[in-house]
Amino acid sequence: MEKYIKYLKVSYQIEMVLGILLAGFMSFFLGVMATDAPSATYFHFALGALFGFIIVAIPTMLMPFLAIKELNNYVAKRKLLFNIINAVVVLAFVFFPLALWQFYMLYKIKND
C-alpha cells in the first residue's frame, strides 16, 4: 500500500507542476483577450489574468494539494474523498490517461 501511495503522490506533484504552467499560460491568454476592446485598460488585463489564473489553478493545483494532504493521513483515517474528486476533475477536464492511472492507484490502495 505504501508504494501505491508514493506513486499517487508523485502523479499529484506532476499534476501540480503542469497546473502551474497551464495556469500561467491561461492567465496570460485571458488577460490578452480581455484587452481586445478599443476602450480596454490595463485593469482589464489584470482582471482577466486574475480570473483566468483562479479558474485554472483551483482544479489543477489546489485539488492535488488537498489530495496529498489526505494521503498523508490515510493510514489513520482511511478516507479518499479529495483523491476521488481530483480524479473525476482530471478525467473530465484535464488529462484522461492520468485520471485512469489515478483511479487504478486508488483502487489498489483501497483493496490493499
14-38: pLDDT as tens digits: 999 989 999 999 999 999 999 988 8
Instruction: Give the count of domains, the chain.
Output: 1
Note the pLDDT of residue 1: 85
CA distances from 22 to 1, 44, 62, 75 (A): 31, 20, 13, 33
The mean pLDDT of 76-102, rounded to a whole number, is 89
Residue-range definition of the domain harbouring residue 107: 2-111
Q: What is the pTM of this model?
A: 0.85
Residue 23 phi, psi (nearest 5): -65, -40
DSSP state for residue 39 in the 8-state scheme: T
Q: Which three cell numbers stand for residue 98?
A: 492520468
Rg, Å, the chain Cα set: 17
